[in-house]
Amino acid sequence: MSTPLIWFYFLFFKFSDQVLSITPQTQEQVDTLRNVSTHYETVLWQPVSNEYISTQVQVHLYVPGNSSVTVKAILQTHGITHKVLLANPNVLTEMQMKNDSTDPRSGSTFYERYHTLEEIYDWINRTAQDNPRTVKAILIGSSYEKRPLYVLKLSFNDRPNRKAMWIDCGIHAREWISPAFCLWFVHHSLSFYQQNSEITRILDSMDVYVLPVMNPDGYKYTWTARRWWRKNRSISKSGFCVGVDLNRNFDVDWVKGSSQNPCEEINCGPFPESEPEAQAVANFLRRHKDTVQLYITIHSYSQMFIFPYSYTFDQAENHNDLLEMVQEAAQRIKRYYRNTYTYGPGAATLYPCSGGSDDWAYKLGIKYSFTFELQDRGEYGFLLPPSHISGACNEALLAVKTIAVKVLEKTQAPANHHTI
Ligand code: 0X9
Ligand code: ZN
């Protein structure tokens, strides 16, 4: 290789942004990593907050090019080894944002691309307009920056006493596969009703409420300013920091195990439901709690099915039912897609934390309540390429259908359904 080329490679890898994978072996290494993630310009991809860093837990750390040399030197001094998970996240970021639908050579459909917030709003309008008998767009509130929060109601018949299920996406701004899933789910429902037996059975028996983007301000911000933004965009009282983690803002054991510091990623806000986005969802579900039987919230990444509780290590009253449902979902994904999903109650499986929407919905009386963490397990993390959208969404769809059918079996008289 010629000298200028060697220099190019050297500078490129030394100074380009990278995502590192690090597994601390000792408490001292844990402390060093916590220190690095707070004092240097880095972003923790996983776990979400440095208090969850512990020995033998894999940490994914985004390190911008300008901190790279310093951060790696510190790691080396403390004997901490690292692997480069993503050598060039910028290229992947561009790939995610390139959604040129006019290019026929792209070969991907609308649902196999990521979309800007404006495109999603257009899609919501179009979907409701094109399917006036089955889809309604319901305005349930607005965001901190006054963007509308629309829920799509899918209703395929008007039998009396219909039950319902709820799916929300995009509570965390940077988890782009999540809104992509909500779009995928609606598209599948509209395309395969009366063709696929499971979705038909579900839609025959339940209305489905789908909130494609719970955190539109944050989502917009990830497209325009900071790709790693997680929270909403509300300005704290002190005015110093921005954003509340909406999945810490629900009224369930609020504040314990999260942070009241507005500068932190897991800031739970000044009081429960302080955020208009969380309040809109909570109000809607409170109004519909007699019909909604199943609550699903879509996140990424790590391939996990979580159920209550996260705020306590106590077992949910129907723990065995919930476990059976996610177990079956994970088994079917393994069988059909060869991918592994882990599962269990939140506190024991992931980490204890309060203020989450799943626990809140459960305590409201929605006895089947789940958080899905979609693909992947860290290979691309938040930068899952568009070519992986269909795989990620199809397996999540299989899980939704598996669980919804099981909910019907548990709650419905057996004669109430027909098969195709
Ligand atoms: O921490 C979260 O909010 C979720 N994980 S994520 O990496 N997508 O941020 C997990 C939520 C699990 N449920 C509760 N903690 N209630
Ligand atoms: Zn999330």
Per-residue pLDDT, 105? 64
Q: Please measure the distance between the N-terminal and C-terminal CA atoms of the chain and give it in whole angstroms.
A: 64
Distance from C-alpha of 413 to C-alpha of 420, rounded to nearest angstrom:
18
Question: How does DSSP assign 212-271, residue by residue?
Answer: S-S-HHHHHHHHHT-TT--S--PBPTTSS-B---GGG-SSSSTTTTSB--TTSTTB--SS
Closest of 278, 220, 228 to residue 248, by C-alpha = 278
Give the closest ligand to the alpha carbon of residue 343. 1
Query: Which residues of the chain register pLDDT less than 50?
Result: 419-420
| Nearest atom (ligand 1) to Cα of 306 | 12
The residues, any chain, with a CB within 8 Å of residue 107's CB and separated by 6 or more, are none
Residues assigned a catalytic role = 373
What residue owns the CA closest to ligand 1's atom 4? Answer: 299
Please tell me if the CB atom of residue 215 comes closer than 6 angstroms to any atom of ligand 1: no
- Centre of ligand 1 from the C-alpha of residue 360, in Å: 13
3-state helix, strand, coil in the chain (%, to 5): 45, 20, 40
Q: 116 and 170 in contact (C-beta within 8 Å)?
A: no
Structure tokens given for 320: 């065995």
CA atoms within 13 A on the CB side of 101: 9
Per-residue pLDDT, 2? 58
Closest of 295, 420, 303, 298 to residue 368, by C-alpha = 295
Per-residue pLDDT, 93? 95
Please tell me if the CB atom of residue 306 comes closer than 6 angstroms to any atom of ligand 1: yes
- Find the helix packing angle between 197-205 and 177-192, rounded to 10°: 90
Q: 72 and 82 in contact (C-beta within 8 Å)?
A: yes
- Centre of ligand 2 from the C-alpha of residue 150, in Å: 20
| Torsions phi, psi for 255 (to 5 deg) | 80, -35
Closest of 135, 111, 137 to residue 190, by C-alpha = 135
- Please give the order of strands across the beta sheet that includes 59-63: 43-46, 59-63, 18-22, 83-86
Q: 392 and 329 in contact (C-beta within 8 Å)?
A: no
Distance from C-alpha of 18 to C-alpha of 366, rounded to nearest angstrom:
42
Distance from C-alpha of 341 to C-alpha of 328, rounded to nearest angstrom:
11
Per-residue pLDDT, 259? 84
Give the closest ligand to the alpha carbon of residue 249. 1
Pairing type for strands 292-300 and 368-374 reads: parallel
Enumerate the β-bridge partners of residue 374: 300
Calculate the alpha carbon distances from 201 to 62, 265, 411 in Å: 44, 40, 14
Length of the chain: 420
| Nearest atom (ligand 1) to Cα of 299 | 8
Cα 104 off chain centre by:
30
Question: How does DSSP assign 71-103, residue by residue?
Answer: HHHHHHHTT---EEEES-HHHHHHHHH---TT-
Please tell me if the CB atom of residue 253 comes closer than 6 angstroms to any atom of ligand 1: no
Please tell me if the CB atom of residue 354 comes closer than 6 angstroms to any atom of ligand 1: no
Distance from C-alpha of 292 to C-alpha of 206, rounded to nearest angstrom:
9
Please tell me if the CB atom of residue 48 comes closer than 6 angstroms to any atom of ligand 1: yes
Per-residue pLDDT, 15? 74
Give, as one character, the DSSP assignment of residue 297. E
- Centre of ligand 1 from the C-alpha of residue 301, in Å: 10
| Torsions phi, psi for 353 (to 5 deg) | -165, 145
Pairing type for strands 135-142 and 59-63 reads: unpaired
Per-residue pLDDT, 240? 86
What residue owns the CA closest to ligand 1's atom 3? Answer: 247
Please tell me if the CB atom of residue 172 comes closer than 6 angstroms to any atom of ligand 1: yes
Please name each of the domains of the chain with its CATH number.
11-87 (3.30.70.340), 103-412 (3.40.630.10)
Per-residue pLDDT, 99? 72
- Centre of ligand 2 from the C-alpha of residue 372, in Å: 9
Structure tokens given for 130: 């094109």
Report the predicted TM-score, pTM, of the whole model to 2 decimal places. Answer: 0.94
Please tell me if the CB atom of residue 346 comes closer than 6 angstroms to any atom of ligand 1: yes
Please tell me if the CB atom of residue 234 comes closer than 6 angstroms to any atom of ligand 1: no
- Centre of ligand 1 from the C-alpha of residue 29, in Å: 25
- Centre of ligand 2 from the C-alpha of residue 33, in Å: 22
